[in-house]
């Protein structure tokens, strides 16, 4: 069973700051997902990655397969980035996701 | 942009009643999932469905739960006799093929009273 840990659990930052959220997992995976959950509860997929780095706008996700670790970075953070960011991993041979507990991010204007 | 849709967005039901949560996955997707999130906790896997049958289910998915894809578009989760502890947000998700991006619905908030 894969254990997925995220840090920090809560993060408050000023608008414009560079944000880093970390995720580590215990068992090798086929892919890692970064998801965003807004207060209404809906979940939106941000990235799916199995190696290296991906960038979309102000968001960057990296993964180190050997170290079983991924990071999500937000550059020039904005209050609308306030949400819960969730890391979820997919094992080999099945497609279900195992979720981390999420990081609650609050960006203050 | 294609999306997964779930209905209803919120359902309140009495303990012991049956509920059916509905999902319309993205039309060319082949793998379907139900997850749930109890308030304040992390999202948990319930069941996966592929080729018109359950491919995997968790310990949570006991005999009170069932899934169906009755007409090739809808994907339903039925809870036969709801308990207070079934109160949670239920998410439907779908993926097109192995190792592709997962798309989630907006969730159904189920409250059992």
**Contact (CB<8Å) B99/A31:** yes
Tokens representing A73 are 């970075």
> What is the pLDDT tens value at each position of chain B, 113 positions in all?
779 999 999 999 999 999 999 999 999 899 999 999 999 999 999 999 999 999 999 999 999 999 999 887 899 999 999 999 999 999 999 999 888 899 999 999 999 99
Dist CA A86 CA A88 (whole Å): 6
**Contact (CB<8Å) B56/A94:** yes
- The average confidence (pLDDT) of chain B is 94
Residue pair A54/A31 in contact by the 8 Å Cβ criterion? no
Question: 10 Å Cβ neighbour count for A41?
Answer: 17
The reported pLDDT for the residue numbered B6 is 97
Could you read off the pLDDT of A16-32 as tens digits, one per residue? 999 999 999 998 899 99
The reported pLDDT for the residue numbered A39 is 84
DSSP state of B9: S
Q: Using alpha carbons, select from A3, A17, A12 the residue that is nearest to residue A68.
A: A3
Judging contacts by C-beta atoms under 8 Å, the chain A residues touching residue B104 are: 35, 42-45
Does residue A14 register a pLDDT over 90?
yes
Percent of chain B with pLDDT over 90: 87
E strand segments, chain B: 5-7, 10-13, 19-24, 31-37, 44-50, 53-57, 65-68, 75-79, 88-95, 103-104, 108-112
Long-range contacts of B59-67 (CB under 8 A, 24+ apart): B60/B36, B67/B34
The reported pLDDT for the residue numbered B49 is 94
Which of B36, B48, B102 is most worth mutating to test chain A (most A CB atoms within 10 A of its CB)? B102
Could you read off the pLDDT of B54-67 as tens digits, one per residue? 999 999 999 999 99
Residue pair B4/B96 in contact by the 8 Å Cβ criterion? no
Q: Which residues contact B24 (CB under 8 A, 6 or more apart)?
A: B4, B5, B6, B73, B74, B75
Task: Report helix, strand or coil for B97.
Answer: coil
């Amino acid at each position: 069973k894969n254990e997925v840990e995220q840090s920090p659990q809560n993060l408050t930052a000023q608008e414009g700051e560079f944000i880093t959220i970390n995720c580590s997992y215990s068992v090798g995976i086929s892919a890692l997902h970064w998801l965003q959950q807004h207060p209404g509860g809906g979940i939106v997929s941000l990235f799916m990655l199995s190696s290296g780095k991906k960038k979309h706008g102000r968001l960057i996700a990296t993964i180190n397969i050997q170290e079983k670790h991924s990071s999500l970075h937000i550059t020039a953070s904005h209050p609308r980035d306030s949400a819960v960011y969730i890391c979820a991993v997919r094992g080999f041979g099945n497609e279900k996701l195992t979720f981390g507990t999420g990081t609650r991010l609050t960006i203050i204007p | 942009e294609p999306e997964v849709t779930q209905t209803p967005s919120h359902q309140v039901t009495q303990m012991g009643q049956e509920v059916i949560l509905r999902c319309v996955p993205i039309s060319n997707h082949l793998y379907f999932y139900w997850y749930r999130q109890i308030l304040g906790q992390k999202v948990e896997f319930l069941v996966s469905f592929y080729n018109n049958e359950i491919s995997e289910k968790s310990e949570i998915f006991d005999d009170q739960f069932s899934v169906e894809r009755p007409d090739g578009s809808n994907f339903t989760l039925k809870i036969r006799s709801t308990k207070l502890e079934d109160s949670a947000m239920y998410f439907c998700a779908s993926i097109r093929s192995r190792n592709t991006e997962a798309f989630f619905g907006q969730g159904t908030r189920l409250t059992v009273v």
